[in-house]
Amino acid sequence: MSILVTYRITSRLSMRIVKNGDVHVSAPIGLPRAKVEAFILEHRDWIDEARKKTSNSQKQRREFYGQLPLTSRAQADEALKRLKALVEPMVEHHAKIMGVRPSLVYYKPTISRWGQCNLKDRSICISAYVLLLPDWCVEHVVVHELCHLLEPSHNARFHALMDKYFPRWREARKETRRISRMQGRADEE
């Protein structure tokens, strides 16, 4: 375990655990090193517990995304074929209803986002990992990205568009989060 202390303009000491389990501490400029070290020692139990949770979370994440192997060319080609068969009819259907047309729909194995809309070139990227979701949750991702062609930010207008074009979007978002977070614990349910 590594501990990184950063001095910055802040009024209090704080710390967080990053994905690899390291501890990042933010301290006010000028605070003596001894006080920072005492703060870390004082919170040793919290650090241990938080590192455990982070480790478990990362393990669940690996298990979830590991359900869709994409390491060989054949696996990637098969996933692309399945993605196109699933997503393209959804894009066609909803784009027509919404009066939008993406310039391009492409797919990447992204794990940080289910989808992404590039407003400059009006393209939409869908994560290959949507194949791990139920179809109605995939449809939510598609409509979400198409709505960004009409409204770039997640403001009230965007939510109104989502309500109009995919009324179950809140339920789908909740289910998507549940699946991606809890998949690693499926054996406990």
* Residue-level pLDDT at 187: 30
Q: Under DSSP, is residue 71 helix (H, G, I), strand (E, B) or coil?
A: coil
Q: What does the domain layout of the chain look like in residue ranges?
A: 3-65, 73-188
182 pLDDT tier (thresholds 50, 70, 90): low
Say if CB 68 and CB 80 are below 8 A apart.
no
Mean pLDDT of 59-71: 86
Which CA distances in Å does 157 have to 144, 148, 162, 164? 13, 10, 9, 10
Q: Is 151 left (phi over 0), alpha (psi -120 to 50) or beta?
A: beta
115 pLDDT tier (thresholds 50, 70, 90): very high
- Threshold 0.85, pTM exceeds: no
- Say how far apart CA 145 and CA 20 lie, in whole Å: 31
Average pLDDT taken over every residue of the chain: 91
Mean pLDDT of 85-112: 96
Mean pLDDT of 49-67: 86
- Tokens linked to 14: 């704080």
The CATH fold assigned to 73-188 is Zincin-like (3.30.2010)
CB-facing half-sphere around the CA of 159: CA atoms within 13 A: 5
Bridge partners of 27? Answer: 7
61 pLDDT tier (thresholds 50, 70, 90): confident
pLDDT at 189 over 50: no
